[in-house]
Structure formats: C-alpha cells, structure tokens
Amino acid sequence: MEKPACYIFSGLGADERVFDQIDFGVFTPVFIPWEPLSYRNQTLESYVKQLSRHVKTPDPILIGISFGGIIAQEMSSLFGNCPVLILSSVKMRSELPFSMRFSGVIGLHKLIPMKRVLGNKSINHWLFGTQTDQERKTLDQILADSDPVFTKWAIHQVANWERTEKIPAKVLHIHGEADRIFPIRKVTPDYIIPGGTHFMTVSEHEEVSKVIQEALRRLHYSLPLRV
C-alpha cells in the first residue's frame, strides 16, 4: 500500500535540511523548494499559486514550518480547504510579535542589510536557539545558502500578513516552549514541545517526530473518503 503524501514548506531562509532527522512514520514527505520570485514585487497570493503547481493530489495535507506555515495556510483554500500542520509558526496577524507588526506598518524591515543579517552567526544562533556545535554548524550552512533577495521579500510578507482570522480548514499547530522568533505567549498551539526552540525539528527531533506523526494521523482522518 502506497504511503500517503504530505507536502512540506520549509522556513524563511531554510530548506528541507531542517527536517533531515524527522521521522514522518507512514507518511511520505514531499518537500517543495522555494522558487525565485516571478517578478520583483510579487504578492504573497501570486507566490502561493506559483508553488501550488507542485502539489499533485486533490486532497493533500500541507505542512509548513515558520514562514512555510503561512504559505501552507494560504494555499489550503486552493485545495478545498485541505488540512494543514504548522510548526513554529502563527495562524493570523495578531499572533505575530509586536515588533514584526510594527515593522510592517512603518517599513523598518526594508532597511535591514540582509546579507549582513544572514551572516551574523551570534544573533542567529540566539534567535533559533541552537544548543550544540553541530546544530550551529547546520544553521550556519542553511543560512549561508539562503537567497538574500528572497529572504528580504519573505520578511516583508510576514510583517505585512493581513490575515485577521484563522483559515476555515482544520489546522494543527506544534510550537516550541522556548521559541524566540514567535514567542509561545502569543500563540495557541495544539501541541507544545517542552524546551523547544525555533530550531526544534533539529534539536528536539525525536519528540517532534512523535508529535508530527500523531498530528498527521489526525489530519489524515479528516480527509474526505474517495471511492
């Protein structure tokens, strides 16, 4: 019997390497890579439609971590409000930290020297909550491979995300107790990873794997039956 597929969007400035140690159980992960923007000021809606071409089933389960969680939620309506699993993410604008929402209003994020930020190891290690030399090395490699242009565009999309209500689809949310980018006090997750940081798919991969498998089973049972 073929394993059910789930389509995965990584975080801002990240790629599928953040899931290298995750065990999806009976589900087959299909990683959708970030694509270059089609045009300079591409809208979030347009970019979501662009990526949706990689989803090959009418009733998918979408998974997104961090910025990928926003993408997955916005894409759900293109597939009949399909179920979504988000990790280290938010479900609407009010869950964003005040600093991000304020930056979206005044445009402060536009002044960020992105190459310098991506290369600032000490700040990024603190923000992502890396705990070991190997975790720091992995994060450094991921950020070094990030596209500064796309990353700056993605930060703008997060800071200006207009969603004021949760999407109508079934959404399950996994969040780390010690997440510094999206503090847990602002969100209402279904599962909390004790001590989990924004890098918890790496640092707490065994616990996160168990929770992901449980959440995917719940979402799979919510899919419509097809004869």
Three-state DSSP string of 27-56? CEEEECCCCCCCCCCCCHHHHHHHHHCCCC
pLDDT band, residue 199 (cuts 50/70/90): very high
pLDDT-based confidence at residue 227 (cuts at 50, 70, 90): very low
Residue 193 located in a structural domain? yes
If one counts every other C-beta atom within 10 angstroms of the C-beta of residue 187, the result is 20
Instruction: Quote the number of domains for the chain.
Output: 1
Does 226 fall in a domain? Answer: no
Q: CB count, 10 Å around CB of 222?
A: 13
Supply the CATH number for residue 55's domain: 3.40.50.1820
Picking from 125, 158, 155, the residue whose alpha carbon sits closest to that of residue 143 is: 125
| Position 29 in a domain | yes
Mean pLDDT, range 114-135, rounded to an integer: 87
What residue numbers bound the domain in which 27 lies?
Answer: 5-97+162-221
Greater confidence, 115 or 203? 203
Rounded to an integer, what distance in angstroms lies between the CA atom of residue 129 and that of residue 183? Answer: 12
- Residues contacting 19, CB < 8 A, separation 6+: 8, 10, 29, 31, 65, 201
Q: What is the pLDDT of residues 148-161, one digit of tens each?
A: 889 889 999 999 99
The pLDDT value given to residue 147: 87
Q: What is the mean pLDDT of residues 155-171?
A: 95
Q: Is residue 26 part of a domain?
A: yes
- Residue 147 inside a domain? The answer is no
**Checking DSSP bridges between strand 61-65 and strand 5-9, what pairing results, if any?**
parallel
What mean pLDDT comes out for the span 60-81? 97
The rounded percent of the chain whose pLDDT value lies above 70 is 92
